[in-house]
Amino acid sequence: SFTLAIVGRPNVGKSTLFNRLVGKRLALVDDQPGVTRDLREGAARLGDLRFTVIDTAGLEDATDDSLEGRMRRLSERAVEMADACLFLIDARAGITPNDTLFADILRRSGKPVILAANKAEGRAAEAGLIEAWELGLGEPLALSAEHGEGLAELATRLAPMVEAAEERAEEAETDIDVEDDDGEGDGPRPITAKRPLQIAVVGRPNAGKSTLINRIIGEDRLLTGPEAGITRDSIAVPFQWDGTHMRIFDTAGMRKKAKVQEKLEKLSVADGLRAVKFAEVVVVLLDAAIPFETQDLRIADLAEREGRAVVVAVNKWDLEEEKQEKLRDLRAGFERLLPQLKGAPLVTVSAKTGRGLDRLNAAILKAYDTWNRRVSTARLNRWLTAMTEAHPPPAPGGKRIKLRYMTQAKTRPPGFVVMCSHPDKLPESYSRYLINGLREDFDMPGTPIRLWMRSQA
């Protein structure tokens, strides 16, 4: 099930929150010695959400010098085990150096983070809430674990994550038993109103994300003025695009709230992270005038690492004059700066005029399709033979590495296992050769491809 880790320095109120979420339903106390001893795990209930919560509270009472290091290791472990993290700070104390330390751990983990400023009952916490934005982890949620305030808001934020995790778990299950060797596989699961295609539009501020989403959804439902965004949070908006049911992860409310540019940038990375976690297909939106800023690269890379299908859309194409030349530059830049996204489609659009949106739609559907692709074992092995004949693997110490057999182990994104005589000796470049070959020969643009070399058991 979906697992949430409660993380934060001692005394911010983790235990109080844990107890409130779990009540008496403490499912498991891990009594192994060492680090895990101090992790508590319980079955949490929040509104109609059910999930597992892990807490590092076992250390709250410790006072010795090593506390910090232990706390840190413990938190890292909890984060590792979790699907998402709830980062607690003390709204009354403001941001302390220790909080910053934990924020770094969380950011590095790449896990989605909900930042909550606890002890926020009454008005005493306002300053702390504003300060909390500085952590660059998005909008702080005002919480009072002790008084039970802010829990509804917490549920709202958790809901899409819990749902996405449940859906992914279901997908993973169906993935296992649908190995089918004689055809072209089973194709993607059907997109229905109940199971819409989940997309996210990510990119730096002002790339035109809101404009694009408005354009796609076809109503002016996103926020345009700063005042409208005060209480809005990210939500998943269902809609149909040319007859396909989709759900889009929209963080417009959060973005509109941060006024200072620097904060806005940090914020949109955290935002982007959440959106990427949610989505099946990620549209990386670049501004044609300033493509490939660090932030663009970071978010695109993140989407690849998370294994999402990726479509790159270059916006504000209406403003470009030398379109041919510009397109050539873009392709070159793309290849040089985002080699890990090789094969992702590049589509030029104008969110403002609506031009290119039909091509964007087609690219999204195609990327989704590829992401779900399953190639039969028979075809893969014929292909592997041809590939190794065309370009034999190296022979370290005179003994040629043998690639014996290949099969597709998973989809979403496609992952392949190759049985290999000495996987540790096979150079990275050979894996790349195979991945690029797979992409071309089986026409798989717009999706990461995973390849694992295994020695025969």
Question: Binding site for GTP: residue ranges?
Answer: 8-15, 55-59, 118-121, 203-210, 250-254, 315-318
Task: Identify which of residues 189 and 352 has a Cβ nearer to ligand GDP in the complex.
Answer: 352
Task: Identify which of residues 51 and 249 has a Cβ nearer to ligand GDP in the complex.
Answer: 249
Least distance in angstroms from the C-beta of 352 to ligand GDP: 3
Q: Which of 138, 246, 264 is nearest to 201 (CA)?
A: 246
- For residue 334, CA distances in Å to 339, 346, 379, 437, 444 come to 7, 9, 31, 20, 18
Q: Show binding-site residues.
A: 8-15, 55-59, 118-121, 203-210, 250-254, 315-318
Question: φ, ψ for residue 204 (rounded to 5)?
Answer: -70, 160
Least distance in angstroms from the C-beta of 219 to ligand GDP: 15
- Residues lying near ligand GDP in the complex (CB under 6 A) are found at 203, 205-211, 255, 315-316, 318-319, 350-352
* Encoded amino acid at 177, one letter: D
H or E segment and range at residue 406: strand 403-410
Task: Identify which of residues 211 and 447 has a Cβ nearer to ligand GDP in the complex.
Answer: 211
The strand pair at 3-7 and 49-55 is best described as: parallel
* Encoded amino acid at 391, one letter: H
In the bound state, the residue with its beta carbon closest to ligand GDP is 208
The strand pair at 450-455 and 346-348 is best described as: unpaired
Least distance in angstroms from the C-beta of 224 to ligand GDP: 8
- For residue 433, CA distances in Å to 67, 381, 390 come to 48, 16, 11
Least distance in angstroms from the C-beta of 94 to ligand GDP: 29
Least distance in angstroms from the C-beta of 268 to ligand GDP: 8
Distance in angstroms (rounded) separating the CA atoms of residues 63 and 80: 25
Least distance in angstroms from the C-beta of 136 to ligand GDP: 17
Task: Identify which of residues 71 and 275 has a Cβ nearer to ligand GDP in the complex.
Answer: 275
User: And the tokens for 72?
Assistant: 């840190």
Contacts of 327 (CB under 8 A, 6+ apart): 348
Task: Identify which of residues 207 and 420 has a Cβ nearer to ligand GDP in the complex.
Answer: 207
Least distance in angstroms from the C-beta of 288 to ligand GDP: 8
Distance in angstroms (rounded) separating the CA atoms of residues 441 and 4: 41
Q: Which of 269, 229, 330 is nearest to 138 (CA)?
A: 269
Task: Identify which of residues 285 and 438 has a Cβ nearer to ligand GDP in the complex.
Answer: 285
- For residue 292, CA distances in Å to 255, 298, 300, 327, 338 come to 20, 9, 10, 14, 9
Task: Identify which of residues 71 and 302 has a Cβ nearer to ligand GDP in the complex.
Answer: 302
